[in-house]
Structure 1
Amino acid sequence: MSRPHDAQRPFFPFGNPFRMISPKGSHLSSKLIAVLNNFEETLADRFRKLDPKETGDVLSLTWMEKAMKSLCETHGDIKNLISTLELPVCDWDDKWIDVYLDISVKLLDLCNAFSSEISRLNQGRLMLQCVLHNLESSCPEQFIRASSSLDRWRHHISSRNPRFENCGSILDGLKESLDLPKVKNSAKGKVLMRAMYGVKVQTLFVCSVFVAAFSGSAKKLLELSVSDTHLWGLSFTNLLTSVNSSIRNRPSSGSVAIFKEQEAVEANVKKLAPLIRSGEGTVEEESVRSSVSSLRGNVDHLSQGLDLLEKEVDGFFQVVLTGRDALLCNLRANGPASTQMQKNIVER
């Protein structure tokens, strides 16, 4: 996204911001076609790289990290495309400003929900580390503490994050924004609108998968038909089909989260918990050691994945936020004529 000093357009333009450009005709030159094709071919390659190689490998934290990183790269590409097209800053009407701000707020809200869930999972990870610390001793009292900590962890991890209550409606609103605005008499505008469609599709797809992974519900997975006139259309359709079917057809394990690192930890806890209840029989030490070792390895794997994913989610948050900053900077650059518009934004 554009930073405030870049003087470039933010994402998700609506209405017709190109009414001042190329008033006669909108024929795409070979140069513009090459620019657009390069963008779409790069996007197609990104979709192919995200397509899982085998069923069950979709929803891992590693895959989610790659998906968010890929999304940030696409947003960077659209910024470069805007620069290549050399689109001048022109006046935007209030309606377009309202729509852009609404969509960027939705994306920021989703990022906040994702970050909130990552923090909640990290809290659970700390609880498990306390369990592992207690189990380093063979003292019966430590086993009692560990058992109590596991109970608290199960209660914590099975609770629902209230941040996700509105995510479904947010995704619905973003899907409504996929319709392309009509851009007349602007070849550059049409190139940008077509490229923007690809950005919006990838953004909605990645966000819908994240909501499914963190909420444990596949209800809001994206369903979308994309025309094969887009160079990335087929690779996206293959990716969408593969990811959605893998999520919906996954064996039910009773896990709250869908991604496999969390499921592995929950399976370890389910096996370990009855072994360390000291009041219910003799502790099988070898079984305990084996289960503790497995849990420690899976907790470390979960911890690493959450840390890397948190970094990528924060990066996307900054991408969206700097786009809003760019919009405000462009409005200020327009001078006194935009004073009322800036006032309206501040009030909102």
Structure 2
Amino acid sequence: MVFLLHKFAKLENHHHHHDPPQSEELQASLQAFRSEVSKFIDQLALDLKPGSEILSLSWIEKCLELLSITIKALANLAVDIDYPMSVWEVDSIEGYLSYSLCLLDLFNSISSSFSRLEQARLSLSHGLALLEKNSPSSATGHHLKAIQPGCFSTKFGEEFYTESDKARFFSGKEWVVHEAVKEIKSIGFWVCGVLLSGLCTDAKPYMELKKMAGEFDGSSILTLDSKISEGEVKQNPILKEVKEVNDALAELLVASDEVKHEATKELQTKLHVFEKLCDVVKAKVDDVFSKVMAQRTELIDCFQVRKQN
């Protein structure tokens, strides 16, 4: 696809304009786009709770809704300025396709992380079942183990983020699209970084994606990001629900016979809540994945039609 886009760029004899955007109408349209997105970001900031609850699955599910809003807002913006994807210039096409490809890969990493957590949850549930059948040694030896941090090894910077650092100049509607794509890129990387750090109990995804997004400089997500202490994310990015399961398990493993039944019920409850919230977030991830894929496919189809013509 990158090769085709470069070939298409040569056929188009594409040039950048050095004229700064002058239309007040275009600036107003971009501002409306940013307002639509920042309104939801402000609400997310208000919903934040202190401590590790920042990384609760219920709150992260709301963050994923922000990605859906950016997809819709970009489509609305294209209509508002009468600049559909079918007439985007090559730089905008390349920029969005590069971002969306990276985002889809992030979603795959998120899905893999959920699979690992699901396996750990199933093992704990099986261990509880054995415990209830009076097989304590088998349960504690093989299944009743705390959910462990995951492994994060995807090299996004090397494999997916290949945008040139050279200065580029945009004008008119192309400038509006460029600024909008830059904004949704920051938001997408922030949401995925926070979610992956929580799922992996590892600050690396958040820190890498924040660096790739230019520290979210100039983005409306910076306000929300500033409410998350970097020190806290580095030291304790564990999901609230994972911590509650592990704490309940620790209580069970040291419980006396008198309170072991209640401790078991408490762990079962925490596992049930964890399972339900995981299902909700996974469904949201799948939904956003489908929306990104649909928008990406639309852009590729537009490009192919133009190339044939």
TM normalised by structure 2 equals: 0.79
Q: Deviations over 1:291-345 (max 9, x none)?
A: 11210111111111100110111122212222331133113322535xxxxxxxx
Q: Which structure 2 segments of 5+ residues have no match? A: 1-8
3-state SS of 1:158 partner? coil
Residues 225/198 of structure 1: CA separation in 2 closer, same or farther (3 Å cut): closer
1:121 aligned to 2:117?
A: yes
On the 8 A contact 1:20/1:90 being kept in 2, the answer is: no
Identify which range, 40-49 or 327-336, moves more after superposition.
327-336
**Is residue 322 of structure 1 aligned with residue 291 of structure 2?**
no
Find out whether 1:49 has 2:43 as its counterpart.
Answer: yes
Instruction: Tell me the SS of whatever aligns to 1:243.
Output: coil
Paired residue for 1:131? 127
Structure 1 distance, partners of 2:188, 2:70, is 9
Aligned-residue offset at 1:179: 6.9
Equivalent residues of 2:52, 2:238 under 8 A apart? no
Q: Does 1:226 align with 2:214?
A: no
User: Which residue does 1:263 correspond to in 2?
Assistant: 243
Aligned counterpart for 2:153 among listed residues 161, 165, 173: 165
Residue 56 of structure 1 aligns to a residue whose secondary structure is helix
What aligned pairs does 1:283-302 form with structure 2 within 5 A after superposition?
284-302=256-274
1:242 equivalenced with 2:227 (yes/no): yes
User: Take 1:68 and 1:100, find their aligned partners in 2: how far apart are those partners?
Assistant: 19
CA contact (8 A) 2:203 2:234 kept: no
List gaps (5 residues or longer) in structure 1: 1-14, 252-256, 276-283, 338-348
Report matched runs for 1:185-204 at 5 Å.
Answer: 186-204=171-189
Please state how far the C-alpha of 1:92 moved relative to its aligned partner: 5.2
State the Cα distance separating 1:219 from its structure 2 match: 3.5
Matches within 5 A, 1:102-121: 102-121=98-117
Q: CA deviation at 1:26?
A: 6.1
Per-residue CA deviation, residues 167-217 of structure 1 (Å, 9 max, x unaligned), is xx3157777759797444x42222222222211111111122123212222
Question: What are the within-5 Å matches in structure 2 for residues 84-99 of structure 1?
Answer: 84-88=80-84, 89-90=86-87, 93=90
The answer as to whether partners of 1:268 and 1:291 remain within 8 angstroms in 2 is yes
Q: Would you tell me which structure has more helix in proportion to its own residues?
A: 2
Deviation at 1:44, TM superposition (A): 1.9
2:58: which partner in 1? 62
TM-score computed with the length of structure 1 as normaliser: 0.71
238-247 or 301-310: which moved more? 238-247
**Residue number among 143, 147, 165 corresponding to 2:136 in the alignment:** 143
Q: Which has the higher contact order (CA 8 A, sep 6+)?
A: 1
The residue that corresponds to 2:192 in the other structure is: 207
1:249 offset after TM fit, Å?
Answer: 6.8
Contact 1:61 1:305 in 2 (8 A): yes
Cα distance in 2 for residues equivalent to 1:174 and 1:85: 30
Say which of 29, 34, 37 aligns to 2:31.
37
Measured in 2, the distance between the counterparts of 1:144 and 1:45 equals 54
Q: CA RMSD in A?
A: 3.4
